[in-house]
Amino acid sequence: MATLSTFPSPPWPNSNPNPNSNPNPNFVTQEEQSIPLDSQNDSAISFRSIDYQSIGSHGDEPDDHDHDQNANPNIYKAFPAPYDPPTLEPHGHGRNENPNPNIPKPLDPPTLLHLSFNQDQGCFAVGTDCGFRIFNCDPFREIFRRDFDDGGISGVEMLFLCNILALVGGGPHPQYPPNKVMIWDDHQGRCIGELSFRSDVRSVRLRRDRIVVVLEQKVYVYNFTDLKLLHQIETISNPKGLCAVSQLAASLVLVCPGLQKGQVRVEHYASKRTKFIMAHDSRIACFALTPDGQLLATSSSKGTLVRVFNSIDGTLLQEVRRGADRAEIYSLAFSSTAQWLAVSSDKGTVHIFNLKVNPGSPGIEKSRYASDSNLAVTQSSSSLSFIKGVLPKYFSSEWSVAQFRLPEGSHYIVAFGHQKNTVVILGMDGSFYRCQFDPAIGGEMTQLEYHNFLKPEEAF
């Protein structure tokens, strides 16, 4: 799942200088519920007692809370597409818990701190220096926003289309401490839980049963229902917060950087297996995982090649070339069928590659896509492939089937749209593109739609 965030954040000011004062009487204090992991660790965990209200039912609800037999287990509520959350009434419980809907909207567009798609790429979340916003991709529209009084959000992680989000404070004036993950229930309009650490949070990943928190050199995996720590992983320095998790309920696959440059670590929790893959010689810059966790795409800091691996045994299945010049890869994305791979970089071009491997049978071409794939492969292969083995690998590389040129100077992330052969591109300048590619003809993609989601709502 593609994510862009700005780091680092300034130190969090102490808004409660009186250590004996509890500004939130409905929650126990951190001192009362602090759970130190290890005196040698650079992080510690604390959480509030979660006061869940009845907010509907969901087909894949987690179990009851171990620490509160009266807690309502129905912590999720799936909204029918398009997502239409309930209207919230104004609250007055303090700056850190509730947005102020009466704050006048600023005349200037807010500063963008974070961009990310949700798990099925149907929506995207925006964190700004004054709150967060949620948008629908197709049709494009702002679903809702929560504006805070001069409080920035540098991390927003959605959970499909439900009312639960994970927030991390950031920017010049963070709404929450940057070393905390706040679990926000938009149905209640407040935070219902938190996870605290001794260093800044770099990213968060959600499943219906797990919360994954990424620090610069640690990854923590928690049970969603009671915030119980299940696993902690040490990584090489990971300032981007690189992490990916599968989304199928039957199995959990987690990918994070390993302890060596160019190495990725794959955790298969169902089979209790750990696989280390030496994916590149240079440091890992980006990676993506298919929803079932079987395919893993990686790129390095060089940004010239993208490699696709079988996540189970680490076999290299395919290698494609973005270009000859170094580039910073911003995002990688698989299509829902794993037939296509999208890549965005600082070169201002989004590339679409044809994948020839079947996740169920590595190395075998997908016969069900033969009509489109054969045409695409013909165009994506180099015309000099007949001298493969004589000249450098560059001349026999697999190239992209389709491209879309973007204005340079901004960071872009990409995902596949729900309509066939479409992609959605988001920019940190507020740009939204929806484009279509022709797998038979290839070449330049067709722009179907453009918006600037930072403009006032009236401009949409």
pLDDT tens, position by position, 430-457:
999 999 999 999 999 999 999 999 986 5
The amino acid at 415? A
Q: Among positive and negative, which fits the CA dihedral 447, 453, 454, 459?
A: positive
What's the chain's Rg over C-alpha atoms?
22
**Average pLDDT of span 15-31:** 36
Is a pLDDT exceeding 80 seen at residue 112?
Answer: yes
Phi, psi of 267 (to 5 degrees): -105, 120
Q: Tell which wins on pLDDT, 59 or 237.
A: 237
Phi, psi of 215 (to 5 degrees): -100, 180
Is a pLDDT exceeding 70 seen at residue 141?
Answer: yes
Lowest mean pLDDT among 23-37, 81-95, 202-216: 81-95
Q: How far apart are CA 439 and CA 372, in angstroms?
A: 6
Q: Is residue 23 very low, low, confident or very high in pLDDT (cuts 50, 70, 90)?
A: very low
Q: What is the pLDDT of residue 262?
A: 96
- Tally: H helices and E strands in the chain: 2, 32
**Average pLDDT of span 35-58:** 41
Is a pLDDT exceeding 90 seen at residue 344?
Answer: yes
Q: How far apart are CA 408 and CA 108, in angstroms?
A: 23
SS3 state of residue 147: strand
Is a pLDDT exceeding 80 seen at residue 429?
Answer: yes
Structure tokens at 219: 């990854």
Q: Tell which wins on pLDDT, 402 or 249.
A: 402
Site of tokens 């990854």: 219
User: Which of 83-97, 246-260, 397-411 has the highest average model confidence (pLDDT)?
Assistant: 246-260
Q: What is the pLDDT of residue 73?
A: 31
Site of tokens 């494609």: 320
**Average pLDDT of span 39-43:** 47
Q: What is the pLDDT of residue 240?
A: 96
Quick one: which of 215, 344, 234 has its CA closest to 288? 344
Q: Tell which wins on pLDDT, 409 or 26.
A: 409
SS3 state of residue 32: helix
Structure tokens at 449: 């739609």
Q: What is the pLDDT of residues 190-247, one digit of tens each?
A: 999 999 999 999 999 999 999 999 999 999 999 998 999 999 999 999 999 999 999 9
C-alpha distances in Å from residue 30, one per residue of 66, 88, 178, 193: 19, 28, 16, 11
Q: What is the pLDDT of residues 284-313, one digit of tens each?
A: 999 999 999 999 999 999 999 999 999 999
Q: Is the peptide bond before 359 cis (omega within 30 degrees of 0)?
A: no
Lowest mean pLDDT among 48-52, 83-87, 119-123, 348-352: 83-87
Structure tokens at 333: 């994305």
Q: What is the pLDDT of residue 367?
A: 36
Q: Tell which wins on pLDDT, 374 or 58.
A: 374
Lowest mean pLDDT among 225-229, 354-358, 380-384: 380-384
User: Which of 18-32, 67-81, 185-199, 356-370 has the highest average model confidence (pLDDT)?
Assistant: 185-199
Q: Tell which wins on pLDDT, 49 or 161.
A: 161
Site of tokens 């920035």: 152
Quick one: which of 295, 118, 454, 414 has its CA closest to 445? 414
Question: pTM of this prediction?
Answer: 0.75
Q: What is the pLDDT of residue 89?
A: 30
- Strand 402-405 to strand 443-444: parallel, antiparallel, or no bridges (unpaired)? parallel
C-alpha distances in Å from residue 322, one per residue of 68, 325, 391, 393, 398: 52, 9, 19, 13, 9
Q: What is the pLDDT of residue 323?
A: 82
Q: What is the pLDDT of residue 353?
A: 96
